[in-house]
A and B are shown apart, each in its own frame.
Chain A
Amino acid sequence: MYPDPKISDFINQNFIAVKNHIKENPEGFKRFGAQWTPTVIIADPHGVERYRFEGFLPSDEFLPQIEFGLAKEEFAAGDFAGAEPLFRKIVYTHPNADIAPEALYWAGVAKYKGSGDASALAETATAFQSRYADSVWAKKASIWRG
């Protein structure tokens, strides 16, 4: 997937990228608890893990996963206003990706945490009634319905 310019451009623009090969750097695997290949870990600028996924993914699933990881990193840093549009962009630009329902859920959470307005959660629960209704994330959001 890395030859795909959409993916390599996104990585170069948003991250400092590190390649760990099992034969060249087995201690790097131990340091981050990587137990299988391929594994991708997104960590904050101090090396604290914020998101990981394991196993091969085709490009159309890989890109939304790393976009989600960037959004989770911003969320964990407390930048909810920055994280919300990143989560929402995944839903709009990759609506059929496996990560899209989870991105919709966290967009609502980020909006709520940034604004303190609980209607953001109710709106998210309502949105799940018209899309991703069979996902586990729709079930998790169902508690927010008024």
Chain B
Amino acid sequence: MSVSWNKNVDSALHRASEENKPLFLDFSAAPM
């Protein structure tokens, strides 16, 4: 299974708050 990535930080924060889960933020320059 691959990682379920979000690309919008604000919507991810909203989800994290709703689900009470921490955020995992990856900052990359690798080819998408």
Which residues in A have some Cβ–Cβ distance to B below 8 Å? 2-3, 5, 8-9, 11-12, 14-25, 28-29, 31-32, 34, 37-47, 50, 66, 69-70, 73
The answer to whether A16 and B12 touch across the interface, beta carbons within 8 angstroms, is yes
The answer to whether B1 and A9 touch across the interface, beta carbons within 8 angstroms, is yes
Q: A2-B3, A17-B3 are in contact. Are A34 and B27 (CB under 8 A)?
A: yes
By DSSP majority rule, is chain B's interface helix, strand, loop, or mixed? Answer: mixed
Task: Please indicate the chain A residues that have their CB under 8 angstroms from the CB of B7 in the complex.
Answer: 18-20, 24-25
How many angstroms between the C-alpha atoms of A109 and B20 in the bound complex? 24
- Count the A-B residue pairs with Cβ separation under 8 angstroms: how many? 126
Task: Please indicate the chain B residues that have their CB under 8 angstroms from the CB of A3 in the complex.
Answer: 2
The answer to whether B26 and A19 touch across the interface, beta carbons within 8 angstroms, is yes
One of A42, A47, A73 near B13 (C-beta < 8 A): A47
Q: A14-B21, A45-B23 are in contact. Are A19 and B6 (CB under 8 A)?
A: yes
